[in-house]
Amino acid sequence: MTSPSKGPARGLDGVVAAQTRLSHVDGQAGELIIGGYQLRELAGRVSFEEAAHLLWCGALPSQSELAALRREMSGIRALPEETMRVVRAATKTPPIDALRMACATLSLDLPNPDDISPAADTQAAKLLTARFPTVVAAHARLSAGKEPIAPRADLSLAANFLYMVHGTEPDPSAARAIDTYWVTVIDHGMNASTFTARVIASTRSDMVSAVTGAIGALKGPLHGGAPGPVLDMLQDIKSADRTEPWVRNELAAGRRIMGFGHRVYKVRDPRADVLSKAADALASAGKDTLANRKLFDLARSAEQTILTVLEEVKPGRNLRTNVEFYTALLLQAVGLEPRSFVATFACGRVAGWCAHVIEQHAEDHLIRPQSEYVGPRNLKVGE
């Protein structure tokens, strides 16, 4: 760590806080490795359940292991009565807040919530990952004045999520898109929410507490982001020929262009590439194909113009397309409301959070960085 005489590393920039086998982010090369695989090797090629097993157990599952995992997780998707009461009470709150409150109750039917053994952690990971989509779907329906729909055991986690949101048989292309999205965002190095989960776990606190804290960190706009405003931007632009004047006006006013720039990536976010392909496929299939195709084509054209203008107006800033840009298009195309986007992201990231908690519990070392005092000294009471 940087010595106090030189000042601390602001925001722990450049400080290695842990060793992990789970994921690696190379911002200069635009590379994301998850469990030993390049992201492009996993997203769209393995299911979310397979990717979760990879992080929790260190390897992709065999067919029999995958079948067993799906059976087990499908059997624990339903929410306890106490959790559903919390979700019902939170219908006027943002979905990410409802998820945080609901998550804290999900330890109620664990045999021993304070057990942090590998077996107990893995069981808790399955429970949380299975139930997060149920919470988000129930909150979406209740907020729209509808009753929640019970989960179906015969559907994949992604397909069941869309079924519980819309109440209709899920479109296969939409289910594939959500599955690909969740694999894409399952883990991403030592980000703020993951670090939060690991700090909590390092105290020997339990899995549910650590993940609840992670949700609180994800809620912050500097981390969880705001994919929804990307749609607002495209609606304002309206047509490809309006993109350049719109972007120049926004930059002149000192406003940020949503969906561009990243704290780590200095080149194009590799997740944007994966989600661009997924959104493209979705725009050519399923329901509302024409509307989705027009929006996607506008986004693809606008993206290139925006990148050109950003390079001209802000040279050297490396403001490239990030994961939010195509996330917005994909989630909108499967019928989700923008207010649910961050909570839907959490449904994918929870598997990664749980994997980091498992890893931190195994390390069993308290995370306790130092601070540099910059306040006054030798004050006297009464003076």
**What are the residue numbers of the active site?**
262, 324
Q: What are the E-state strand segments in the chain? A: 23-26, 31-34, 37-38
Q: Are 54 and 62 in contact (CB under 8 A)?
A: no
Please tell me the distance from the alpha carbon of residue 359 to that of residue 219, in angstroms, as a whole number.
Answer: 23
Q: Looking at this protein, which amino acid is placed at residue 64?
A: S
CA distance 282 to 202: 41
Q: What single DSSP character describes residue 43?
A: B
Cα 255 to Cα 231: distance, rounded to the nearest angstrom: 16
Spatial distance between the Cα atoms of 209 and 113, rounded to a whole number of angstroms: 10
Structural tokens at position 104: 């804290």
Task: Tell which phi-psi region holds residue 79, choosing left (phi > 0), alpha (psi between -120 and 50) or beta.
Answer: beta
Rg (CA), the chain: 22
- 30, 68, 62: which is closest to 46 by C-alpha? 62
Pairing verdict, β 37-38 and 23-26: unpaired
Amino acid letter, residue 271: R
Distance of CA 16 to the CA centre of its chain: 22
Of 13, 12, 368, 19, residue with least CA distance to 202:
368
User: d(Cα 142, Cα 90) in Å, to the nearest integer?
Assistant: 9
Q: Classify residue 23 by its DSSP letter.
A: E
